Each structure stands twice: as C-alpha cells, then as structure tokens.
C-alpha cells in the first residue's frame, strides 16, 4: 500500500458492505491497527505457516489481503480493494453452495427446464444468485468499469471511473450441485481500455470484455470443496489461499505453486472416446498403457467440474481437457490458462496457446487443454486432438 496515500481497504473492521457508504474519491486512511493472533489451530493441531517470500513477515500467517498489501506483489491499492470485494462475494457463494436449501432450489429449476424442453445447460438458480452476488460486490467496490459474466447475454457497464474489467463464470460445475460435487467461480481481470472511453456504453463494454488473454492483469478461481480455496495470480507466480472458517480469512497455504512438469493423470470425459479424432484417441491409448514419453501407466480422473479438475491438475500435474467446443474462451479458458502458465504449465486449444487467441465473441467456445508442460507438449504432438463431432450429450 502507498504509505502517503490514505487508503481504505475492507478488513474485518471494514467489510465491503460498510465501504459502500463511504465517500468515493480522495481516500481516507483506515490502516489496520488490529493484528489477529498469527497462529491457526485446527482441532487441537497447530498449523505451521507457509508464508511466501512476498510477505514482509517471517513468521505467522498471511491473509490474502495482507499478502496483496505486503509490497511484494506490486498490485496497487485499487486491486486490493477489488479483491477484498471478490473474496467477500466468494465467501457468500461458498455458504450458498453448502446450504441445506440449495438442493430444492436447483431441482425446481431443473424440473421447470425439463418440462419446457430447455437444454441441460440452462442456468439454475444458484448460478443466477451467484451472479447477482458477484455483480453487487463488483459494483460496491467502485473499481470495476464493466463486468462480463457467463450468465449474462451482454457485459454490464458499472462505473465510468472503474479501472478494471472483470470477466467471470460465477458458478461452474453447478449442473452437479445436487450431488454435492465441488463447484467453482472463475475470474479474469483486465485494465479498462481508456482509449475507448469516448464510445457508447454498449460498445465499449463489449470491446473491453473481448480483450486478449495476454492482457490479463490477474486471474483467480475459487474452489468450493472440502476446503474453499482461492487461487490467484497477479502476473508473477500462482498462489492459493484456504478459507479459515473460524475467522473468515483466506490464508496463504500454497505459495508460488509449480505444476509438475509431468503428471501421471489425464482428465477427460472419455465416454466420448468414439467421437474423438484419431490423434486424441491415440494419445489417450498410449499414455494409459504407459507407452508414452513418460513410461508409466497414466490414471484417469474426471469430476466434470472444471475448477475441481483444474485444481487437481495444478496440484498433481497431468493434463485436464475438454476436447469439444464447450468451454468458454473469455470466462474459463483465459483465466485458467493465465493461472497454469504462471505455475509453469500450459493452456492450449490443442494447437494454439489460449492466451494468444483474440476473442471475437463474448460467449465463444473452444476445446481446452490445460496442464503440465511436458504432458501438454506430448499431447499436442499428436496434432489431431480437437473433437469436431459435437452431437450434444444428455447427461
């Protein structure tokens, strides 16, 4: 944080909802006088801190906001404020997906969608509620010019002075929520293109949202699983923070994640084997027999929840893929590719680096392959890995 500027960022003392009542513009100092005891205790076990080098402190725990404010990340006050609102939104979504009432909410809509003949990708109420939670938080932050969401047809212009553009999939994997499968939220953050400020709102909202992935300044996902994990990159390293439910803080638990150069896992819906092109079939047949460049038999893991499959890939290595035109470039492929690249891995559509693909449509879909560098190179060497046959699947 700049020492001269008087800066406000939400803390336990100033949660985002209070900040909405504070004046915009010149900022007042609300420096944190209170430091929470730096020792976490889980059911009687004392947990050792994994503070990364970005922290000024050499012992204890670092929260997401402390990590961002420590000076090592060079993100600036605006992004700190924005992330405080994002983490607040995600804590609310975490509570929502764990709520005993979400199942009936999901079912009502599912029945309605079935009877009206709507396809299986129709949004469920949880998607919509998550979208609203995020929209409100981004608006309250005062830092966002435009939000583009997988749930909305068009981007929403929020604030002429907002320095950032946020693209998001508010709740991915929600089709499996009735079975308590892990779900996740994905974010990508760009700078507002000030050179477009003169354009009509609709036009500048769209063009700001269609920025190439190479222009991302930050990306994150939040995994709602046995633990709620916020994994983020601000362009140098990928770091994960785990929600401490006793304090409500995201605590740094995995600093500077490095995806192993090789994994031994492939992650794909392989019931689609007969719709795959020859190259992809050959690749999977080869690695599952242990006849690839890495002479071990690979294992299959597929949750069918992108954030969960991606998180496991980041931790253990290997390759996570959806070879058909299903996942979205703007909301899913770009943010996750940014994260995997900053962890030393690769994101591609089977041929081209994802981050270098210029989006031409907001909801553009494409094949997506993410993972360990050597696994990705081997996979791409088969050439023909993009599934062109896309008959529509019912489950």
Chain residues in the site for ligand FBP (CB under 6 A): 121, 172-173, 175, 269, 304-306, 309, 322, 324, 326, 393
State how far the alpha carbon of 332 is from the alpha carbons of 40, 82, 196, 233, 387, in Å. Answer: 33, 20, 25, 15, 18
**Active site residue: 66, 169, 341, 375, which one?**
169
Residue 295 beta carbon to ligand FBP: minimum distance, rounded to whole angstroms: 29
Is 161 annotated as catalytic? no
Clarify whether 374 is annotated catalytic.
no
**Closest separation between CB of residue 393 and ligand FBP, Å?**
6
Give the residue with the Cβ less far from ligand FBP, 192 or 312: 312
Query: How crowded is residue 205: how many other Cβ atoms within 10 Å of its Cβ?
Result: 23
Is 171 catalytic? The answer is yes
How far, in Å, CA of 144 to CA of 165, rounded? 6
Which of 127, 374, 378, 380 is catalytic? The answer is: 127
Which C-beta is closer to ligand FBP: that of 306 or that of 330? Answer: 306
Burial class (CB in 10 A: 0-12, 13-18, 19+), 103: middle
- Work out whether strand 144-149 and strand 164-172 pair parallel, antiparallel, or are unpaired: parallel
* 249 classed as catalytic: no
Q: How far apart are CA 342 and CA 314, in angstroms?
A: 11
- Closest CB to ligand FBP among 106 and 142? 106
Question: Is 151 assigned a catalytic role?
Answer: yes
C-beta closer to ligand FBP: residue 78 or 172: 172
Enumerate residues 6+ apart whose C-beta is below 8 A from 47.
Answer: 40, 41
Q: Please report how close the Cβ of residue 357 comes to ligand FBP at its closest, in angstroms.
A: 18
Contact (Cβ atoms closer than 8 angstroms) between residue 337 and residue 347: yes
66, 78, 84, 172: which is the annotated catalytic residue?
172
Closer to ligand FBP by Cβ: residue 306 or 362: 306
> Which one, 67 or 331, has the nearer CB to ligand FBP?
331
**Is 309 an annotated catalytic residue?**
no
- Of 137, 312, 302, 303, nearest in space to 221 by CA: 312
Residue bearing tokens 């019912």: 394
Closest CB 207 distance from ligand FBP, rounded Å: 23
Catalytic residue among 332, 341, 349, 378: 332
| Catalytic residue from among 78, 84, 150, 309 | 150
Active site residue 244: no
Nearest to 61 by CA among 228, 314, 229, 243: 243
**DSSP tag of 130:** H
Nearest distance from residue 268's CB to ligand FBP, in Å?
A: 8
**Is 127 a known active-site residue?**
yes
- Identify which of 73, 77, 94, 93 has the alpha carbon closest to the alpha carbon of residue 10: 77
Report residue 281: phi and psi, to 5°: -60, -45
Look-up of token digits 């253990």: 316
- Nearest distance, CB of residue 174 and ligand FBP, angstroms: 7
Residues designated as active site:
121, 127, 150-151, 169, 171-172, 332
């Amino acid at each position: 944080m700049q020492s001269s500027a008087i800066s406000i960022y939400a803390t336990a003392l100033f949660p985002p909802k209070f900040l909405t009542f504070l004046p915009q513009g010149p900022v007042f100092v609300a420096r944190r006088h209170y430091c929470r005891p730096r020792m976490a205790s889980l059911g009687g076990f004392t947990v050792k801190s994994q503070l990364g080098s970005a922290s000024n402190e050499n012992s204890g725990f670092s929260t997401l906001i402390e990590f961002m404010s420590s000076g090592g990340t060079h993100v600036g006050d605006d992004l700190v404020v924005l992330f405080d609102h994002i983490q607040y939104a995600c804590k609310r979504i975490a509570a929502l997906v764990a709520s005993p009432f979400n199942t009936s909410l999901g079912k009502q809509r599912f029945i309605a969608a079935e009877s009206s003949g709507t396809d299986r990708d129709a949004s469920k109420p949880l998607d919509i509620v998550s979208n609203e939670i995020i929209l409100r938080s981004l608006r309250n932050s005062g830092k966002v010019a435009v939000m583009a969401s997988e749930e909305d047809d068009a981007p929403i212009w929020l604030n002429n002075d907002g320095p950032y553009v946020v693209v998001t999939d508010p709740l991915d994997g929600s089709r499996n929520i009735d079975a308590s499968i892990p779900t996740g939220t994905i974010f990508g953050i760009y700078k507002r293109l000030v050179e477009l400020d003169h354009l009509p709102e609709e036009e500048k909202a769209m063009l700001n949202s269609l920025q190439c992935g190479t222009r991302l300044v930050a990306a994150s996902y939040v995994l709602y699983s046995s633990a709620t994990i916020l994994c983020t990159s601000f362009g140098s390293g990928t770091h994960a923070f785990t929600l401490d439910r006793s304090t409500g803080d995201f605590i740094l638990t995995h600093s500077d994640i490095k995806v192993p150069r090789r994994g031994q896992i492939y992650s794909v819906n392989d019931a689609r084997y007969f719709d795959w092109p020859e190259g992809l079939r050959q690749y999977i047949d080869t690695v599952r027999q242990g006849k690839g460049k890495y002479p071990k038999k690979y294992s299959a893991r597929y949750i069918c929840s992108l954030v969960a499959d991606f998180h496991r890939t980041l931790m253990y290595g290997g390759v996570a893929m959806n070879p058909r035109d299903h996942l979205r470039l703007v909301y899913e492929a770009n943010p996750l590719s940014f994260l995997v690249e900053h962890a030393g891995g690769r994101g591609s559509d089977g041929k081209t680096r994802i981050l270098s693909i210029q989006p031409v449509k907001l909801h553009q879909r494409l094949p997506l392959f993410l993972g360990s560098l050597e696994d990705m190179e081997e996979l791409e060497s088969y050439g023909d890995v993009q599934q062109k046959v896309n008959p529509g699947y019912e489950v």
